[in-house]
Structure 1
Amino acid sequence: MLDEPRSGRLASWGNALLAGLVSPDEAAHRIADDDAVHRVTDLPGEEAPVGLTLALGRLRALGATGLRVALPVPGHPLGLSGPPEFNARALEAGEAVLAVGAGLGLVPEIYEAGPEGGTAPDVHVEVVWHCLPVREAPPADVPSLGEAERELAEALRDATEVLSKLDVAGAGPVAEAALAAYRARAEAGRQVLAPGYPPRAVRVLELAQRVGALIDIARQAGSDNGREHGGAVSSSEISARAEALRPVERTARRAQVAAYNSAVEERERRRG
């Protein structure tokens, strides 16, 4: 959860474009970020894959009024509304975008070329968004921003407690590198959401990403010694720590989705 989901960038900047707050070129540039190419395939009315600029315009012509994010995992279909075929593809990818009003969803498939373990610009990344029909229905288990913020405050305390029990400071270079990477991203002043989002959504997303980073660090702590769960010396301790992290990770994912979807929810409230 340390990395920003591509579905989040697509929904955030796509919503800004649909609201007339950014240009098509800026939206496409922000969505692609460090990736080389993004294409959308199987889009109604298009016989071949198209780029992001054309795809977003086409979605608007098909009736899309906003974009929502789904971040499902096995046993938790967060943000999904069906049908089963789309849910299965989204679950396999771990993320998806739903075009509200168009009855369509987009699921990313990632292709990478370059040295193993490399990073941009050494790795060439292409993203193909598969367009499929979706059910126009309330998304599963997405909280309001207020609910997400309250849940996150408690989750952050839980994650910090687990992290301290793992003694990350003495766990070795893997955990320390993860912590340094998170701090570098936090200090970079990056724009976590596109224009048009309420300040509370920015605050919730930043906190959700912080909690997610702590979870990643806790899981990596001690992996230098061949262990993925800190300094655990028994299977029961490993199981207990995994169980402690699971609800915290679930809360952080729910908050991320609530933040990315808040622009759509706000517009719908105004219309109502």
Structure 2
Amino acid sequence: MISWFIDQGPVIQALLATLFTWGVTALGASMVFFFKRINRKVLDGMLGFAAGVMIAASFWSLLNPAIEMARQTSDHPWIPAVIGFLGGGAFLWLADQLLPHLHLGFPTSEAEGVPTTWRRSVLLVMAITLHNIPEGLAVGVAFGAVAASAPIDGVPAATLAGAVALAIGIGIQNFPEGAAVSVPLRREGFSRRKSFLYGQASGIVEPIAGVIGAAAVMMMQPILPYALSFAAGAMIYVVVEELIPESQLQKNTDIATIGAMLGFAVMMTLDVALG
């Protein structure tokens, strides 16, 4: 099975990897069949954990390889990293302004984006869907980078093991995300089945973004450092704008912070050990 995966092209690898991350989102959403509510302290710890994973992935799996790749063609390797990083944040900011969505724990009156009559459940799913776009993109770009990047001093700047580590890390933090959507919907009166369907639906965008990311860097290799940095910037935007504020909403700051530290440590371990 492993050798078969290695033999596939980067686009297929990205598709399979993001189908895995979507599957873990669905697995998390399935918790609604067992629980009607999540203890707020547990939820804040999980949100912090997800934030820690994304911060670590942004540097170890995306920004650092982008800078190393840029060293091959530029005397200023920080330029692609800065431009791509800020571009990723700008993209998420624009999507935030345009697409109606509602963050967990906030009343419907505080929905963001253009005004809409969408139901609260749809707005909640849209918020997590926006969150999942940079995650899928990051995984896709990481797999595309393996084939598109040239070795530096005989050492690959991007490795298949590193891309797999990123997919595993994103998958791990998708589990609490799926539960964080489906269980609150159940508490608001939705059936278990409908709550599950909404929860897993938030992850559908990841395979789409993953395939686009992998295909883009394969077709336009010079943009690779920018693409890696773009994905990192988009993920950091999500962490600072969404995950950290939501994890601190109920003042469980220590629990959320410990969760973030653990998430960072897990992702860093995966990336260094496998990448």
Q: Does the pair score TM above 0.5? A: no
Asked which structure has the greater CA Rg, the reply is: 1
TM-score normalised to the size of structure 2? 0.28
Ranked by relative contact order (alpha carbons within 8 Å, sequence separation 6 or more), the top structure is 2
Question: Higher helix share goes to which structure?
Answer: 2
